[in-house]
Amino acid sequence: MTSSLNHRSAAALALVTTSALVTTGCVIEQIDAIIAARGVTECSSSTGEGESTSDASTDTSTGTGTNTSTETTAEGSGTSSSSGGTASENTGSESSSTGPALPVCGNGVVEGEETCDDGNEVPGDGCQECASDSVVFVTSEMYQGTALGGLYGADQRCRSLAAKAGLARPLTFQAWLSTPTMSASDRLLHSRGRYVLVNGLVVAQNWDALTSGTLENAIMVDETSMTRNSPVWTGTLASGQPAPDSDFCEDWDDDSMLLKLGGFGASMSTDVTWSYFEDAGCDSNARLYCVEQ
């Protein structure tokens, strides 16, 4: 009985060993086929001297910005680059510009909101901080406060006179005039350039100077360069804000024939009264200040 069991055990052991060898042989053949297919000529030792891992990687970073990953698997070993090149190759050529170029004052090119750019800082040449001079005049004609046609009508009167006098850019002129809900300051451009009379005399160096309460020269010259000393419809303080307690002649378009009042300025003045010094009946006649935009 014992001899029979030993014989069976030996036979079973031989069968297992043979099966293991066959299985191992198949695995080796599969690995050899994979290696041959991938063209790898060197592999980890099958004697156990090397280690085989399924997902082992080592990242190294060099001074050129190249990250290299080394992979060793049961299928073989190789080196692959995770970055694909140097840092400059990864990021590409970077543009130094992050958006459209901004206007450069002083480069001799009119750009953006510039109205001039003469490429120099010469004072008094008509171009200051890349803003051209703005012409200011008092109208040669006089109007009743009730018959201006509102702010729009007043602007049109300024433009008509500027065109007849042959002034440049006549369609840009607007009246220095306010209503309770719309100030001259909000209506007009706040220029960095000078405000000048038709004859070239400087009224103010810029908007801030124009609304400071003191003018360099009175706005007493009309569109034809004639001197005019008379009241001017404004409804406006020297700061450009609406004059308080004024009726503004019912927004400068009153046809009710009722007695209303509007704010006057004095064309011969260089202090705050150039823009406002009193109210007068809207049936009175007065001029307008016109400002190039």
pTM for this prediction: 0.63
Question: CA 245 to CA 159: how far, in whole Å?
Answer: 29
Question: CA 8 to CA 1: how far, in whole Å?
Answer: 11
Q: What is the CATH number of the domain that holds 186?
A: 3.10.100.10
Domain limits for position 26: 2-85
Per-residue tens of pLDDT for the chain, all 293 residues: 444 434 444 444 343 334 443 344 444 455 455 445 544 444 343 444 433 333 433 343 333 443 434 343 333 344 433 334 443 334 444 444 566 667 788 777 887 777 777 777 777 777 887 788 999 999 999 999 999 999 999 999 999 999 999 999 999 999 999 999 999 999 999 999 999 999 999 999 999 999 999 999 999 999 999 999 999 999 999 999 999 978 899 999 977 657 789 999 999 999 999 999 999 999 999 999 999 99
CB atoms near residue 263 (< 10 Å)? 29
Residues 32 and 132 in one domain: no
Residues 39 and 165 in one domain: no
Residues 164 and 286 in one domain: yes
Q: CA angle, 276 as apex, 271 and 280 as ends, to 5°?
A: 140
**Spatial contact of 80 and 71, defined as CB atoms under 8 Å apart:** yes
Decide if 182 is inside a domain. Answer: yes
Number of domains in the chain: 2
